[in-house]
Amino acid sequence: MNKSVLGLLVISLAIVACTPQQQDVAELDESFFPELSGPYLGQEPPGLEPKLVAPGIVSTGRHTRDLAMTPDGNEIYFGATVGNRTVILMTKQVEGRWTEPEVAPFSGRYLDIEPAISPDGQRFFFLSTRPQAHQEEKPGWVYQDIWAMEREGDGWGEPYNLGPPVNSEASEYFPSLTVDGTLYFTREGEDGVSATYRSRFSDGAYLEPERLGPEVNCGTNRFNVLVAPDESFAVVPALGMEDSLGGVDYYVVFRSADDTWSEPINMGPAINQPDGREWSASLSPDGAYLFFMSSRLVEGAELPFEATTMSQLLTIGAQPGRGSSDIWWVSTEVIERLRPEGF
């Protein structure tokens, strides 16, 4: 980790051109949402240089992270935080057009984040603070457990808690799924230090999780580890590494056929930023693109800037790529170029 918000993303589109005095929330309506078609919301895919994901639609300057897609690419889910609410939003491609992102039907009452869809598209996992039957409903980041849903038609069934041995009295979060059903996730220790665990799936049940070695559980802390569906590599947001560019950086760790992991490799300045926040990554269904959360700035957003009034400051601050956590994407060729011999 670590109800509907009406007009959330549409407001972000409008505010780029309008100050708060010029554009009232009540004036916005569905007709403002643009017509989008084609893969990835009609965006041109990136190369080796990261690009914002759908500026003003997914990346909005409103703290977004954790992008997941169905295998056919026709459904996109992502997390957004507005005030004290954290929800999972969704957009679908219907009859060739993408719908305006809206709070997913299963989200909005509790704090939900970190969507992950199994490679076969049949199961949906996410972090939620919703209580179980024996628990009292409480506000805030309590009861952090991994929940799941099964595919039912063109939607999802009722969420259910994965239970033990995956979930425990500790906080478990950031599910990452493999082709064979293995679940990687983060568990927080009593000392506040988190570690990555792996639970194999056998005979319809998850086995006792095993804590991974120091190659993946590197640094002074780490969390939200993304593992490729074929388990060939993991992207590790790690803190306290000697070669860190600053704060939490993304590292890649490669895995061999005999389950040996390489030493962590810093993904470099093209991905990590000295003053950026980076701690949530995912892959496109075909493995061609890496999506990652970052507070990195777009070109030209550095200080000093032209704002001289409060309205101008608010307008700039509400744009993506201005220091809030947004979702970026890049070709996974940046990972392959780091792969050491033998992995």
3-state secondary structure 285-306: CCCCEEEEEECCECCCCCCCCC
The encoded tokens of residue 176 equal 């990452």
Higher pLDDT, 306 or 320: 320
Q: Are 264 and 236 in contact (CB under 8 A)?
A: yes
Q: Is the pLDDT of residue 11 over 80?
A: no
Tens digit of pLDDT for each residue in 44-61?
999 999 999 999 999 998
pLDDT in tens, 114-165: 999 999 999 999 999 999 989 999 999 999 999 999 999 999 999 999 999 9
Lowest mean pLDDT among 23-37, 88-102, 213-227: 23-37
Predicted confidence at residue 28, as pLDDT, reads: 37
What pLDDT is recorded for position 25? 34
Confidence tier at 9 by pLDDT (50, 70, 90): very low
β-sheet bridge partners, residue 198: 184, 210
Percentage of the chain surpassing pLDDT 70? 89
Residue 303 has pLDDT above 90, yes or no: no
- Mean of all residue pLDDT scores within the chain: 89
Joined together, the tokens standing for residue 108 give 């909005």
Residue 304's pLDDT band (boundaries 50, 70, 90)? low
> Can you give the pLDDT at residue 277?
82
pLDDT in tens, 193-207: 999 999 999 999 999
| pLDDT at residue number 126 | 98
Cβ atoms of 58 and 41 closer than 8 Å: yes
* Cis peptide upstream of residue 274 (ω within 30 degrees of 0): no
Cβ neighbours, 10 Å, residue 161: 18
196 burial via Cβ count (<10 Å: 0-12, 13-18, 19+): buried
pLDDT band per the 50, 70, 90 thresholds, residue 21: very low
SS3 label, residue 63:
coil
**Is the Cβ–Cβ distance between 219 and 204 less than 8 Å?**
no
Give the percent of the chain with pLDDT over 90: 76
Decide if pLDDT at 2 tops 70. no
Lowest mean pLDDT among 5-19, 45-59, 321-335: 5-19
pLDDT value at residue 320: 86
Query: Which pLDDT belongs to residue 332?
Result: 98
Torsion angles phi and psi, residue 237, rounded to 5: -80, 115
Residues in the chain: 343
pLDDT of residue 51: 96
Q: How large is the average pLDDT for residues 302-327?
A: 78
Looking at residue 38, its pLDDT comes to: 96
**Residue that is written with structure tokens 């056919």 in the block:** 72
pLDDT for 297: 82
The predicted pLDDT at position 236 comes to 98
Residues 244-296: tens digit of each pLDDT: 998 899 999 999 999 999 999 999 999 998 877 889 999 999 999 999 999 98
Q: Would the pLDDT of 313 be above 60?
A: yes
**3-class DSSP state of 313:** helix
Q: Which region among 76-85, 269-278, 293-302 has the lowest average model confidence (pLDDT)?
A: 293-302
